[in-house]
Amino acid sequence: MPAPIRLRELIRTIRTARTQAEEREMIQKECAAIRSSFREEDNTYRCRNVAKLLYMHMLGYPAHFGQLECLKLIASQKFTDKRIGYLGAMLLLDERQDVHLLMTNCIKNDLNHSTQYVQGLALCTLGCMGSSEMCRDLAGEVEKLLKTSNSYLRKKAALCAVHVIRKVPELMEMFLPATKNLLNEKNHGVLHTSVVLLTEMCERSPDMLAHFRKVRQLSSSQLVPQLVRILKNLIMSGYSPEHDVSGISDPFLQVRILRLLRILGRNDDDSSEAMNDILAQVATNTETSKNVGNAILYETVLTIMDIKSESGLRVLAINILGRFLLNNDKNIRYVALTSLLKTVQTDHNAVQRHRSTIVDCLKDLDVSIKRRAMELSFALVNGNNVRGMMKELLYFLDSCEPEFKADCASGIFLAAEKYAPSKRWHIDTIMRVLTTAGSYVRDDAVPNLIQLITNSVEMHAYTVQRLYKAILGDYSQQPLVQVASWCIGEYGDLLVSGQCEEEEPIQVTEDEVLDILESILISNMSASVTRGYALTAIMKLSTRFTCTVNRIKKVVSIYGSSIDVELQQRAVEYNALFKKYDHMRPALLERMPVMEKVTTNGPAEIVQTNGETETAVLETKPPPSGLQPANQANDLLDLLGGSDITPVIPTAPTSKPASAGGELLDLLGDLNLTGSPVSAPAPQIAQPPFLLDGLTSQPLFNDIAAGIPSITAYNKNGLKIDFTFERSNTNPSVTVITIQASNSTELDMTDFVFQAAVPKTFQLQLLSPSSSVIPAFNSGTITQVIKVLNPQKQQLRMRIKLTYNHKGSAMQDLAEVNNFPPQSWQ
């Protein structure tokens, strides 16, 4: 059998292939030859064959059949074999292969070989891809080599130890003794790898970190001063050709030392102080004309910002970054922006000084630079610079890549909300964003925007006019269209009456408005959600427009048979409004009140009204739901007719707009409202302040319930109601009563309603019950919370009325509760 072709020969041949197919053919032929050669256990040429295999592997062809051969090469005595064998192992035999572990013994032997280059090969392989098992087995050998005086091996052993620690962190301890005099070396290779090892240990284990900060090293000096000394020598020493890079001595080592110093100095005053001088020295003396000098400066700046450095040093660091920003080299600008982003929180004012340069970077061509500049810009916006910054950012939004637009739009909204100098400016800015990047605006921005618009009462006319004009030309950007539809629905009357003060009012007829809304409904570009908005808007206009009600009726009835279920449901309900509940229509579709932004619960922010919400999730509630509180109020008046006890209404839903004032208890005023309540805001709105205490989710209440005994307020016919009490820590006049209703009969009690009334000097608030069914056999309870305000500290009395269905008949009972314990009201 002829000798297998040489490696170079093969490479040359393969490169002459003109097509992929030709190449594949050659490779397959050669692979076959190699395979048979392997089968023949040919020792002489095994090395050559594996080398060829590795080449083919690099081209992308499978080479797994060579794995075992690599092992055989490693086990061979010949250095040439070992070299290729280990290379093959590193390329083909990662720890996922079964064959991997078989290497362990070979490596162990080679770690103790007489030739340092063999030992080196073994250390290198172990340090690049050793598995956890291998590391565990061989850690002892590595540790031994870490203490050798041979610097060639010592440096490799140090990095091997780093790998072992990364794979098996528990083994870190065993390398600790060997680190004692690692830094006494003169050899830069050993120094560098030792610093890497120390860094790895300190980063992984806070104990190690503490140890290294304090412990006395062999040459009785602590770690930090030792590092400082080494660094100083590097800077001050003269030209050393071996380690010089563009006039700087061993920048790799300098940077690594700076990084270790950073870790040591973090959150540690003593260490930080010890390194102040050297950092200042490096920062001021390093040449900045070449990349290598800037690399060192960059690391220095990172270190200064991260440790407890004195303010002068910090200013120095930020100024360096400022200079970086002006550098022509893109790479330098890039790292400057990255670092500034990290420090903008802590050193805000210093970074502000460089604002104009940062804003210029928005115009850079490099995507990464632009992104960082954008993030930084948002971090720098404040009340003083908001107008200028917004101008730049809006311009950026116009011209930037699509992947930025969503983030940029969100950022602009946030910044505008925080720092808007005037409402008009705010609205204008929003409009600008919606029109330039309308389709990239996030979904959750739409409800926030709508709320914003609602709250700027004096700008309604202006806003709706601008929005109308915006969608006249183009209604493809969904968020814009959604906001616009909603506004037109709400403020369409202002639009047609031409009331705008801020700018020239436009002449719009009702029909034109309906035209545009209908086109949105019809358009293919409109999402289902958008159509929902449009339909609801049209409906609302039925109360605001005067001449086109018939047209609206027609439109609504058409969509009663729409394929879109959501649309259909809405249309059907609106139709019903026209037909059966026409008397309620004006009240239901009344103008939305000013919404309060509630920060506690997410969903509570979204105002739920009868028939519409602002979120993409659309629910419709049947119109008559608002009638309930009014009815209950009526009942209570009947119940207590003429007595001196003031009635009370349950809270959910509260039945009047916030603008009617905060007095929950002005019941008669409530009942005079037109028809049923319209906009039922989330329960947290417009409560008198003293009762707000109870509405937050924080434990404001004295949890020592044991202090106040609970009572059984009612116990008849199997229905038992217990009261438990809590007093508020913040307001001593408030008592919170939790009622628990249980049912000991053998049938459930359904439609359970609990009502209560208190004497005139008290005020009472009833929150929603947990349910309206009390299960039989005491298997469950209904809980409900009552809050009582008793500013005059009078004795608490209560009259309760209970209604429920039981055993097929409606039950009702009245009772007085007089057994309140003194601690509940004193």
Partner 1 sequence: IHFILLFSRQGKLRLQKWYTTLPDKEKKKIIREIVQIILSRNQKTSSFVDWKDLKLVYKRYASLYFCCAIEDQDNELLTLEVVHRYVELLDRYFGNVCELDIIFNFEKAYFILDEFIIGGEIQETSKKTAVKAIEESDMLQETVEEYMNKPAF
Residues 367-426 that bind partner 1 (CB under 8 A): 367-369
Count of residues binding partner 1 (CB under 8 A)? 71
In this structure, are strands 781-789 and 734-743 parallel, antiparallel, or unpaired? Answer: antiparallel
The span from the first CA to the last CA of the chain, in angstroms, equals 110
Angle at which helix 132-146 crosses helix 151-167, to 10 degrees, equals: 150
Question: Of the ranges 7-15, 269-277, 611-619, 801-809, which one interacts with partner 1 (CB under 8 A)?
Answer: 7-15
Specify the residue, 30 or 510, whose C-beta has the smaller distance to partner 1: 30
Residue 353 CA to residue 322 CA, distance in Å, equals 9
The only residue of 243, 323, 553, 591 in contact with partner 1, by rule CB under 8 A: 243
Q: How far is CA 758 from CA 356, 386, 580, 762, 816, in A?
A: 65, 53, 39, 6, 10
Q: Shortest approach of partner 1 to residue 155 CB, angstroms?
A: 5
Tell me how many degrees the CA angle 748-754-758 measures, rounded to the nearest 5. Answer: 155
188 to 217, contacts with partner 1 by CB under 8 A? 188-189, 192-193, 196
Question: Of the ranges 92-100, 450-458, 627-635, 740-748, which one interacts with partner 1 (CB under 8 A)?
Answer: 92-100
Specify the residue, 332 or 719, whose C-beta has the smaller distance to partner 1: 332
Specify the residue, 49 or 790, whose C-beta has the smaller distance to partner 1: 49
Specify the residue, 298 or 754, whose C-beta has the smaller distance to partner 1: 298
Beta bridge partners of residue 804, listed in sequence order: 811
Task: Classify residue 235 by burial, with Cβ atoms within 10 Å: 0-12, 13-18, 19+.
Answer: middle
The only residue of 43, 79, 442, 579 in contact with partner 1, by rule CB under 8 A: 79
Three-state secondary-structure class, residue 162: helix
Question: DSSP readout, 417-432?
Answer: HHH-S-HHHHHHHHHH
317 to 376, contacts with partner 1 by CB under 8 A? 330-335, 365-369
Residue 790: what are its φ and ψ, rounded to 5°?
-135, 70
Largest CA distance in the chain: 120
CB 212 within 8 A of CB 201: yes
Specify the residue, 107 or 335, whose C-beta has the smaller distance to partner 1: 335
Contact code string over 148-187 relative to partner 1, x by CB under 8 A: ----x--xx--xx-xx--x---------------------
| Residue partners of 24: CB distance under 8 A and separation at least 6 | none
Q: Shortest approach of partner 1 to residue 243 CB, angstroms?
A: 6
The only residue of 94, 310, 403, 666 in contact with partner 1, by rule CB under 8 A: 94
280 to 299, contacts with partner 1 by CB under 8 A? 291-292, 294-295, 298-299
CB 39 within 8 A of CB 33: no
Residue 699 CA to residue 132 CA, distance in Å, equals 50
Tell me how far the alpha carbon of residue 394 is from its chain's centroid.
24
Strands (E), 734-780: 734-743, 749-759, 763-766
In this structure, are strands 809-817 and 719-727 parallel, antiparallel, or unpaired? Answer: unpaired
If you ran DSSP here, which 8-state letter would residue 745 be given?
S
Q: Shortest approach of partner 1 to residue 156 CB, angstroms?
A: 6
Q: Shortest approach of partner 1 to residue 358 CB, angstroms?
A: 16
Question: Of the ranges 4-12, 178-186, 214-222, 603-611, which one interacts with partner 1 (CB under 8 A)?
Answer: 4-12
**DSSP H or E stretch at residue 804:** strand 798-806
Question: Of the ranges 88-96, 347-355, 464-472, 519-527, which one interacts with partner 1 (CB under 8 A)?
Answer: 88-96
Specify the residue, 174 or 245, whose C-beta has the smaller distance to partner 1: 245
Residue 563 CA to residue 460 CA, distance in Å, equals 34
Q: Shortest approach of partner 1 to residue 381 CB, angstroms?
A: 23
244 to 263, contacts with partner 1 by CB under 8 A? 245, 250-253, 255, 259
Residue 801: what are its φ and ψ, rounded to 5°?
-130, 130
Beta bridge partners of residue 765, listed in sequence order: 787
Cβ neighbours around 49 below 10 Å, total: 25
The only residue of 24, 78, 418, 442 in contact with partner 1, by rule CB under 8 A: 78
Q: Shortest approach of partner 1 to residue 126 CB, angstroms?
A: 9
Q: Shortest approach of partner 1 to residue 327 CB, angstroms?
A: 11
Cβ neighbours around 590 below 10 Å, total: 18
Contact code string over 96-135 relative to partner 1, x by CB under 8 A: x------------------x-x--x--xx--xxx------
If you ran DSSP here, which 8-state letter would residue 612 be given?
B
Specify the residue, 175 or 298, whose C-beta has the smaller distance to partner 1: 298
Residue 55 CA to residue 65 CA, distance in Å, equals 14
Specify the residue, 188 or 727, whose C-beta has the smaller distance to partner 1: 188
Q: Shortest approach of partner 1 to residue 440 CB, angstroms?
A: 20
Q: Shortest approach of partner 1 to residue 146 CB, angstroms?
A: 13
Cβ neighbours around 606 below 10 Å, total: 17
45 to 64, contacts with partner 1 by CB under 8 A? 48, 51, 54-55, 58-60
